[in-house]
Structure 1
Amino acid sequence: MNNTALTLAEFKTETGQLLNVETVKNYLVSGNGNVTDQEVLMFIELCKAQHLNPFIREAYLIKFGSSQANIVVGKDVFVKRAYRNPNFDGMRAGIVIIRQDGGMDYREGSLKAPGETLIGGWCQVYLKDIPHPVRSEVSLEEYSKSQATWKQMPCVMIRKCAVVTALREAFPEDLQGMYDASEMKNVPDKLPEKDVKVGYATVGQKQGIMKLASMKGLYSHDNPKDISKMEEFCNSKGYNLKELKFDEVDELLDCLSKYEPKNSTNEIIEDADFREVEQEQFGDIE
C-alpha cells in the first residue's frame, strides 16, 4: 500500500488522542491476527468519517488468524446517536416467539415464557418527518452464534440485532458502515470495555511477559489472580508491573530471559504452553 496514504490516515479524536497507524497496530487490535495496512486504513477512515473514538471503546478492529478483519462499534453508539438526532421520535422493539399452541406473537421487550420458542426479533423506529416507522424484523437462525452470551441471553441478543438494523436504516448518515458485535459471527461476544491507555504495555505484550514469567516460575496460569512473585521481580528491577510502559517491555523481557530461578529441589522447569487469556486474568494489571 502507498505509504503516503497510511501517513495521511490519521486524525485527532474529540478527547485529544491521535489515531494513526502506530496506535492502531499497538493498542487497538483485538484478536491474535496480524492486520494488514489496508485493514488499518479502513478502520481509521471509518473512525474519521463517523467521528468514532476507539480509545473509549466506540470502535474495535478485530482479527483472528488469517481471516478478514472485522470492524465493529461499541454497544451504546447506535442508541446514543439516535437520541442525539433531532428527527428521532422514539422506538419500540421486542422478540418474535411461537406460542405453545402454535401461534406467533410479536412481543415487546425480551420476555419469553417457558415452552415458547424464540424465532426472531423486531424493532420500529419513529421519525418526526415521516408518517410511518422504519421497521426491521430479523431471524434468530441467521444471527445466533454458539458463544456464551447467545446461549444465555438469546432474547436480549436478537432484540439488539433488530434494534441496530432498524436504527441503521433510519439514520444512514449517522450510522452508515457501522455494525454491532452481535451482528457478526467471527467476533467474540465479550469485547474489552476499559479505555485504552496509550504509552503503556499492550494486552498482547503483557501476555508475552506472563508466558515467560510462567516458564520462570514467577506466575501460574492455574492461579491467574496471583501476580505477587512477578510484581516482586519487577520491583527489584525498577519496573512497575501494573504501570509498565510500552518502551519498557523489551527491557523487562530481557531481564526475565536472563533470570535463573532458585530451585532447591533441582526440578526441571518445563516450557508451559501459552494460553491466550482475558485481560482480567492478570489480576489488577490495567
Structure 2
Amino acid sequence: MTTDVATSERPTTALTIGDDQARFTSQQVAVLNHLGVQGADDDDLDVFFHVAKRTKLDPFARQIYMIGRNTYDQRQDRWVTKQTIQTGIDGYRLIGRRAADAAKVRISVNAPEWAHEDGSWRPVWMKAWGSPVAARITITRDGEPFVGVALFEEYKQVKRNGDLTSMWAQRPAGQIAKCAEALAWRLAFPQDLAGVYVEEELQHADRQEPEQPTTGAGVAGLRDIVQPAAGAPAEDEPVDAEIVPDSAAGRDWVAEAAALGDIDDLKNLYAEAGLAGASRDDLGFIARRGVAVEKAAGEHS
C-alpha cells in the first residue's frame, strides 16, 4: 500500500495536495486547525506545506504534523511558542527509502546496539541493566556508513522531580534507539530530512516549563497543560495513522489514565495515545483526568 501524498493521477478531494499547488488552500488550513495545527501563522504554514510536499508525507493522513512547543526565549525574557514539524520513525524510514530509490543508491540498516556503562556495545538490552548509556545505528549508503549515536542523558524525558517519564522508564532502549536511527537517517539523507524530527528527539527540549502555567478546564485545559510541556497532540491533533508504537496495540488508555496520579505521566500517556491513533473519547478521558490531577495538586500545594 502506498503512502504517497495524493496527486492529480489519483482520486482527488478538497484535501488533495496538487502537483502544481504552492500553498495550503483555505479549506485545507481549516482542516489542519481542526486536526490541532493551531497558533501557526502564514509563514509557519508555508514551511509546513513545503516540507509536506518535499517529504511526500500527507498531513491529512496524519503522517506528518506540526506542533507548537513552549520555549523560553532568553533575548525576549519570556516564553514563546515555536512550531516544530514531526513524524514517527516509520516516516523517517519511508522518506529515506524513497530518497534512496530516487537517487538509485543501495542502502542497508543495521540492527541497533546499546552501550553499557562498562564500555561494551551490546546487540540486545536487558531491563536488569537499567538504562543504556547510548544507542547507535549504522545506515550504509552505497558502501559508505553513516553512524547515528544518541546519548541517553541528552535525549531522555524526565518529570519535574527528575524521574524518567513512564515511556522512557518502560522502554529506555527502544526510545533511545529511535533517536539514534533518526540521526543516522539524517546523516545519510540530510537534504530530504532537513527540518523534520521524530517525537523522541524533541521530548528532551520540553523539560522546562513556566512555573505556573495558565490552565482552563476539560480537554482545552489539558491542551494548555500538555502541549507546551511534552509536545503532545491536542484533542484532535494530527497523529500518524500508519505509525503506531509497537507497544500501543490493544492498550486500554482509559484504564491506564485512571491508574495514574502524576501529571507528567498523564502528559506522556496523552502523547502516546495521540500518536497511536487513540479515539477522541479516550483522549478526552485522559484530558479530564489530567485536569483533575492538576486541580488536586493545586489544592494540596
TM-score normalised over the length of structure 2: 0.53
Residue of structure 2 equivalent to 1:234? none
CA separation in 2, counterparts of 1:174 and 1:54? 17
Q: Give yes or no for the alignment of 1:133 onto 2:151.
A: no
Q: 1:157 aligns with which of 156, 159, 175?
A: 175
Residue 133 of structure 2 contacts residue 152 of structure 2 at CA under 8 Å; is this kept in 1? yes
RMSD over aligned CA atoms reads 3.5
**Corresponding position of 1:211:** none
- Please say if residues 28 and 54 of structure 1, whose CA atoms lie closer than 8 Å, have aligned partners that are also in contact: no
Matched, 1:47 2:52: yes
Matched residue type, 1:27: H
Equivalent residues in 2 for 1:152-231, closer than 5 Å: 152-185=170-203, 186=206, 187-188=230-231, 192-194=239-241
**Could you say which residue in structure 2 is the equivalent of 1:123?**
137
**1:106 matched to 2:84:** no
Q: Give CA deviations for 1:37-95 in whole Å, capped at 9, x if unaligned.
A: 22222211211222221112221111256421211123311112333424233111424
**Which one has a larger percent helix, Structure 1 or Structure 2?**
2
Report the AA paired with residue 37 of structure 1: D
| 1:62 aligns to 2:83 (yes or no) | no
Structure number with larger C-alpha Rg: 1
Question: Which consecutive residues of structure 2, in runs of 5 or more, have no partner in the other structure?
Answer: 18-23, 71-79, 159-164, 207-229, 243-253, 258-265, 285-301
Q: Does 1:36 align with 2:41?
A: yes
Q: How many residues are aligned here?
A: 190
Judged with a 3 Å threshold, the aligned counterparts in structure 2 of structure 1 residues 82 and 44 are, in CA distance, closer, same or farther, namely closer
The CA deviation at 1:189 is 6.4
Q: Is the 8 A contact 2:96 2:185 kept in 1?
A: yes
Q: Percent identity?
A: 21
Provide the C-alpha distance between the structure 1 equivalents of 2:46 and 2:131, rounded to a whole number of angstroms: 43
- In structure 1, give the amino acid aligned to 2:52: C
Query: Any stretches of 5+ residues in structure 1 without a counterpart?
Result: 1-11, 196-220, 225-274
Aligned to 1:282: 281
Structure 1 runs (4+) greater than 6 angstroms displaced: 275-278
**One-letter amino acid of the counterpart of residue 69, structure 1:** Q
CA distance in 2, matches of 1:192, 1:82: 20
SS at 1:68 equivalent: strand
CA distance in 1, matches of 2:279, 2:168: 21
SS at match of 2:40: coil
Q: Secondary structure at the match of 2:178?
A: helix
